[in-house]
Amino acid sequence: MKMLLAKVLALSSLFTSIHSYAQSDRAQWEEAYANALKSNEQRALSLLQDRYNSLQPGVEKLYVSSKLHGFMLLHGQPYYGNKNALYSEFTSKEERFVDALNSEEQLDFISARKGYLSLLQDADNINSLDGKILLEYHLCRVLNRQALYHQAEVYCSSLNTHIKDIKDPILPKYKALRVIGNNQEFIGNYQAALNSYQQLIAIVPNYVDSSGVYNDTGLLLSNLGHYEQAKKYINIALTMRNALGIPLKLAQTHHSMGKVTLQQKEYELATSHFMQSKLISQRYDYHYGITYAQLGLGQAHIGLGNFERGTRELLDALDSAAKQENAHIRGEIYLTLASAHQKQSKYIAALDFAHQALNLAETIRSERLSAQSLKTLAEISELQGNYSVALNYYRNYAKSELSKRDKENKSAFVALDATRRDYLNEIQTKNLSKENQKLREQNSSLEQYNDISGFAIGLLLMLILVLFAYQRRKTALLELDALSGALNRAACIRNIKKQPATNHPDYRSVLLLIDLDDFKGINDCYGHPTGDRALKHVIEIIKSQMNSRDITGRLGGEEFIVLFKDVDELDVQERVERLHQVIANTMFSSECRQSVKLTASISYLATTKALNDFDELYSILDQALYQAKRNGKNCVVDAYNDPIYLASSAYAPA
């Protein structure tokens, strides 16, 4: 891509000068605006308005509109965009964009996501890379704020890829790296987060407030247990933000310091920082910050033994979190309330809050929250003297932990098998090299005979051609797909067609069609060898979920077919969902030893009938798989029971 760009620039020096000027102009304006914002807010506003008015309709005008929105929000004034009858199409896009920004600030995250997704579809339709970067940034950020970290990872990862494909995006790269690093930290990928923060520090301009980097790095160090070093970084952020007079960011950093001191059980100090965060957030009616400050205050007061005050703060936080649909913080609040009532020997109330946490964990399918809830329920039941009930909770807790370890072990086995295959491939390569060397020596000997050299070489070429033809014929006869080790398309379909009707009314034949999400992005980002690894990785996962009589095969590309035989009707959905979750939760290593995550869209059908009419069944599954892609990918669709809509859009909101 860079070579092609170099050729184009070499052919047109005029275009180069114009493009360089545009880059320089944008960077100079960003610096001028940042400096004005520190010293003269009225001049900063004038710079924003002048820049907005001078730009033609497009992505940069939307970006400046978002900065105008942020400026007005900081000063307590509404902003709804600018209407221009001459550019009705752009005006409509800007109105949707600003509506999404306002919805996000009002904590209406669902409406915000719908707006951003709609605009992302528009950017994709016209293949605007800058547009994709801008909207992926906002989707990554809003899902991070809602604590939907794994959903956010989809857009954050795509954003991380796209900013590498453009030298000077309209959205500054340091802004993108900030939300990318936050997401990596939230999902526990600390090494990747550190790398992102290091890149951010290396490129952030001098005129940009870098206090956020110190704040985020401090939190990351706290997660790693380096509390004193974490406080040093956060203190730097506090000093910078206090000097710069940026109140909402100052509230965020007070909250960060509160979290670190709370972890060190410095409850008085934690209370002070959380209270300052709450007061600043209330002054600017910043509900998101208020909720987290209330949670921190509740935890700190509980630590000090001020149970009544702590409970009041936690209940207020719970009410705010419910309005924001923030399941992550709700679960944490329930467990904190359970712990607080347990310390006061109020076991009935403690059990009620712990049960609510467990119910929430089952709803959002959070293994971490489920394990914590079960452990809390067991401890409370034991204190009540209900030892049989406590034992049952402890058993379920142990099962939950063992289940997590089983998944980790399966990942280790997959990695071990991949290493074994690499070793075998290396041996095979060495053997082929030896054979090749042997042939060269033979050829060198034949060349000594000048009279028959031409004949010998011709004979050797014929021999190689015959061997090549024989090998191709032999490979064609094999039923296994050479890349993945699964059955090839023809063999797999032939075996599936042989499947008779089930011999028990409660048993079902379950046919799954699996398509890897965004597989082209893996090839583009990591190279085709890593794409091959991904296919092998997926087939190993599929085989780990199969019984001995089940069938799987690769239909082609990144599409697989699976037949689960004689599945109890009540177990069908669980089998399919388990396979889907294992694929989504298991990482594999790229050629350059980077951890890569795959997701898959799955359609399935369950039937008691014979499967001899495969073409009709495949058509049904294919339509359902298309619906899964429209639903946002990384999901499961029941081809017989879930609704299927054959619309053209592929960006239906989640």
**Residue pLDDT, tens place only, 383-392:** 888 888 888 8
Residue of 126, 45, 140, 50 lying closest to 93 (CA atoms): 126
Share of the chain above pLDDT 90, in %: 28
Q: State the pLDDT at residue 592.
A: 87
User: How far apart (Å, rounded) are the C-alpha atoms in residues 441 and 443?
Assistant: 5
Q: State the pLDDT at residue 162.
A: 92
Instruction: Tell me whether residue 431 is in a domain.
Output: no
Q: For 86-121, what is the HEC assignment?
A: HHHHHHHHHHHHHHHHHHHHCCCHHHHHHHHHHHHH
Q: Which two tokens stand for residue 537?
A: 């990785």
**Which residue among 325, 359, 391 closes a domain?**
325
The answer to whether the CB of 36 falls within 8 A of the CB of 47 is yes
Task: Provide φ and ψ at 311, rounded to 5°.
Answer: -65, -40
| Order of all β-strands in the sheet with 600-607 | 551-556, 559-568, 507-516, 600-607, 636-638
| Mean pLDDT to the nearest integer, 319-339 | 83
Instruction: Tell me whether residue 466 is in a domain.
Output: no
| pLDDT, tens only, 576-602 | 999 999 999 989 988 888 899 999 999
Statement to judge: residues 197 and 94 lie in one domain: yes
Q: State the pLDDT at residue 414.
A: 43
Share of the chain above pLDDT 70, in %: 88
| Mean pLDDT to the nearest integer, 258-264 | 90
CA-CA-CA-CA torsion for 266, 269, 275, 277, nearest 10 degrees? -90
Q: Assign residue 305 the CATH number of its domain.
A: 1.25.40.10
Statement to judge: residues 568 and 607 lie in one domain: yes
Residue of 516, 461, 508 lying closest to 606 (CA atoms): 508
Statement to judge: residues 548 and 627 lie in one domain: yes
Q: How confident is the model at residue 80 (pLDDT cuts 50, 70, 90)?
A: confident
Q: State the pLDDT at residue 418.
A: 41
| Residue of 356 and 217 predicted with greater confidence | 356
| Mean pLDDT to the nearest integer, 277-285 | 89
Instruction: Tell me whether residue 193 is in a domain.
Output: yes
- Best mean pLDDT range from 188-197, 246-255, 492-501: 492-501
Residues 6+ apart with CB under 8 A from 635: 580, 601, 602, 628
Strands (E), 220-356: none
Instruction: Tell me whether residue 591 is in a domain.
Output: yes
User: How far apart (Å, rounded) are the C-alpha atoms in residues 11 and 23?
Assistant: 20
Statement to judge: residues 620 and 538 lie in one domain: yes
Statement to judge: residues 243 and 202 lie in one domain: no
Number of compact structural domains in the chain: 3
Q: State the pLDDT at residue 333.
A: 87
Q: Assign residue 496 the CATH number of its domain.
A: 3.30.70.270
Statement to judge: residues 143 and 258 lie in one domain: no
Q: State the pLDDT at residue 653.
A: 43
Instruction: Tell me whether residue 399 is in a domain.
Output: no
Statement to judge: residues 269 and 202 lie in one domain: no
Q: Work out the number of other CB atoms within 10 angstroms of the CB of residue 526.
A: 17
Instruction: Tell me whether residue 283 is in a domain.
Output: yes
Statement to judge: residues 200 and 282 lie in one domain: no
pLDDT at 420 over 70: no
| Mean pLDDT to the nearest integer, 348-367 | 84
Instruction: Name the burial class of residue 654, with classes exposed (0-12), middle (13-18) and buried (19+) by CB atoms within 10 angstroms of its CB.
Output: middle
Statement to judge: residues 257 and 190 lie in one domain: no
Residue of 530, 652, 645, 524 lying closest to 596 (CA atoms): 530
pLDDT at 334 over 80: yes
| Residue of 233 and 7 predicted with greater confidence | 233
pLDDT at 213 over 80: no
Q: State the pLDDT at residue 321.
A: 82
Q: State the pLDDT at residue 23.
A: 46
pLDDT at 251 over 70: yes
| Mean pLDDT to the nearest integer, 628-642 | 93
Q: How confident is the model at residue 404 (pLDDT cuts 50, 70, 90)?
A: low
Q: How confident is the model at residue 449 (pLDDT cuts 50, 70, 90)?
A: low
| pLDDT, tens only, 116-145 | 999 999 999 999 999 999 999 999 998 988
Statement to judge: residues 96 and 199 lie in one domain: yes
27 residue type, one letter? A
The answer to whether the CB of 253 falls within 8 A of the CB of 238 is yes
Q: How confident is the model at residue 224 (pLDDT cuts 50, 70, 90)?
A: confident
Statement to judge: residues 185 and 249 lie in one domain: no
Instruction: Tell me whether residue 29 is in a domain.
Output: no
User: How far apart (Å, rounded) are the C-alpha atoms in residues 107 and 90?
Assistant: 26
The answer to whether the CB of 61 falls within 8 A of the CB of 42 is no
Statement to judge: residues 166 and 299 lie in one domain: no
Q: State the pLDDT at residue 347.
A: 87
DSSP per position, 329-361: HHHHHHHHHHHHHHHTT-HHHHHHHHHHHHHHH
Residue of 306, 221, 222 lying closest to 261 (CA atoms): 222
Instruction: Tell me whether residue 396 is in a domain.
Output: no
38 residue type, one letter? K
- Specify the pTM: 0.46
The radius of gyration of the chain from alpha carbons, rounded to an integer in Å, stands at 30
Q: How confident is the model at residue 472 (pLDDT cuts 50, 70, 90)?
A: low
| Mean pLDDT to the nearest integer, 307-331 | 84
Domain of 262? 238-325
Of the listed ranges 71-75, 292-296, 399-403, 634-638, the one predicted with least confidence: 399-403
pLDDT at 620 over 60: yes
Q: State the pLDDT at residue 17.
A: 36
Q: How confident is the model at residue 75 (pLDDT cuts 50, 70, 90)?
A: confident
Of the listed ranges 218-227, 341-350, 586-595, 617-626, the one predicted with least confidence: 218-227
pLDDT at 421 over 60: no
**Which residue among 268, 297, 325 closes a domain?**
325
